[in-house]
Amino acid sequence: MIPFEYVRATDVAGAVAAGSVPGAAYLAAGTNLLDLMKGDVARPTRLVDITRLPGLSAVERRDDGSVRIGALSRNSDLAHDPAFARAYPAVAEALLSGASAQLRNAATAAGNVMQRTRCPYFTDTASACNKREPGSGCDAKDGETRLHAILGWSEACIATHPSDFCVPLVALDASVEIAGAAGTRIVPLDSFHRLPGDAPERETVLEPGELITALVLPPEAAAFAGHSRYLKVRDRTSYAFAVVSAAAGLRLEEGRIAEARLALGGVALKPWRARAAEAILAGRAPDEAAFRAAADAALAEARPSGDNAFKIELARRLVVRALRHAAAGTPERLPALPASVFAPTPEAAHV
């Protein structure tokens, strides 16, 4: 770890000013950043502590039906908020499936959105990584690729984004509230993370010094509360990142799908919104044929980035299962194993 300057911000404007200095990084819980600093992967020369910024820890329910999640809201607090979990059950389930209870008690909403890839070649400073050192190459391409991308990857980078939280947020059209020197701007979460292209070191649309102040769910997101699920295939149910995951939401009218929402995780360097699949589902009966057609559409552009072709079929099957579970109805209680494919079926959860 290199020497760094520590600055404690007292307001958003001061944080933005301090964070605009080259080499600066924002510090909230530090559950990802501090690990990367210890491993010499991240090397900020200034840490701007934002943990005491006022007004960024609240969950605000607005008159128009939208919900504003403060950037410093703790993952566990959000997941265990009864009103929030009832309105956005897939988001709560995703949060409870990520990390350990101790980490969820510390980790923040914005920190979850900003977490870096868990690609082992990124975190190993002895390996070439274009994300860590632009132009150095990508050792992952000829290495262990089992958990790497099947959508949106490039020759420069085949890493995936690790967040569970972001997947249902993208499906529900969440947006990111960003403060900067020029004021506040709003960016759809689906457009916030960048695909690697030939510049994988540019992970988001944030400009130097810009700070996430909140995440916002629109009024329409709550319409999927009765039929939404998040499912996650992982190497172990306890504390593991997704091999693949899926968030599905359905709005049913007179026995047919009036509107569908679908996003995938663990498949690309950003949460992957499957809009073509959503279009296929609209107007159809919620049956197996429709779900399989949607799964085919969601993975139509998928291609292996190495020895990981199995992930394409695995993701396809998970989409079908997530849609099937969503159609059956959101359980009255979250399962004891949140997001696990080994949890009881929705029908059993209602008993």
pLDDT value for 313: 98
pLDDT value for 237: 87
Averaged pLDDT for residues 129-153: 97
pLDDT value for 322: 98
Distance CA 107, CA 89 (A): 19
Q: What share of the chain is helix, strand, coil (3-state, %, to 5)?
A: 30, 20, 45
Distance CA 131, CA 134 (A): 6
Which residue, among 213, 174, 154, 179, has the nearest Cα to 17 in the 3D structure? 179
- Tell me how crowded residue 136 is: count the other CB atoms within 10 A of its CB: 12
pLDDT value for 247: 98
pLDDT surpasses 90 at 62: yes
Q: Cβ(147)–Cβ(308) under 8 Å? A: yes
pLDDT value for 349: 41
In the three-class reduction of DSSP (H, G, I as helix; E, B as strand; rest coil), residue 174 is classed as coil
Higher pLDDT, 1 or 289: 289
pLDDT value for 350: 34
Q: At what angle do helices 310-328 and 288-298 cross, to 10 degrees?
A: 140
Distance CA 261, CA 255 (A): 17
Average pLDDT, the chain: 96
pLDDT value for 1: 82
Record the tokens describing residue 204, joined without a space: 């988001």
Averaged pLDDT for residues 248-265: 98
70: which strand partners? Answer: 214
Which fold would CATH assign to domain 59-114+164-220?
A: 3.30.465
1-54 in CATH: which number? 3.30.43.10
DSSP 223: G
Instruction: Give phi and psi for 169, each to the nearest 5.
Output: -60, -45
Specify the CATH architecture of the domain 222-350.
2-Layer Sandwich (3.30)
Distance CA 70, CA 19 (A): 19
252: which strand partners? Answer: 257
Q: Cβ(143)–Cβ(121) under 8 Å? A: yes
- Tell me how crowded residue 130 is: count the other CB atoms within 10 A of its CB: 24
- Which residues are within 8 A (CB) of 25 and not within 5 positions of it... i.e. 6 or more apart? 19, 33, 42, 44, 46, 47, 48
pLDDT value for 154: 98
Tell me the pTM. Answer: 0.96
Higher pLDDT, 350 or 324: 324
pLDDT value for 343: 85
Q: Where are the domains of the chain?
A: 1-54, 59-114+164-220, 222-350
Which residue, among 247, 279, 56, 53, has the nearest Cα to 169 in the 3D structure? 247
Residue 333 host element (H or E):
none
User: Which residue type does 332 have?
Assistant: E
Percentage, residues of the chain above pLDDT 70 = 98
Q: Cβ(164)–Cβ(265) under 8 Å? A: yes
pLDDT surpasses 70 at 334: yes
Averaged pLDDT for residues 313-342: 95
Instruction: Give phi and psi for 63, each to the nearest 5.
Output: -65, -30
Tell me the per-residue pLDDT of 128-137, one tens digit each, with 9 for 90 and over.
Answer: 999 999 999 9
pLDDT value for 346: 54
Distance CA 262, CA 172 (A): 9
pLDDT value for 239: 85
pLDDT value for 348: 40
pLDDT surpasses 90 at 169: yes
pLDDT surpasses 70 at 351: no
Distance CA 25, CA 11 (A): 16
In the three-class reduction of DSSP (H, G, I as helix; E, B as strand; rest coil), residue 111 is classed as helix
Q: How confident is the model at residue 345 (pLDDT cuts 50, 70, 90)?
A: low
Tell me the per-residue pLDDT of 206-250, one tens digit each, with 9 for 90 and over.
Answer: 999 999 999 999 999 999 999 999 999 999 988 899 999 999 999
Cα 62 to Cα 72, 110, 297, distances in angstroms = 18, 20, 35
pLDDT surpasses 50 at 196: yes
Percentage, residues of the chain above pLDDT 90 = 93
Distance CA 125, CA 161 (A): 19
Averaged pLDDT for residues 298-311: 98
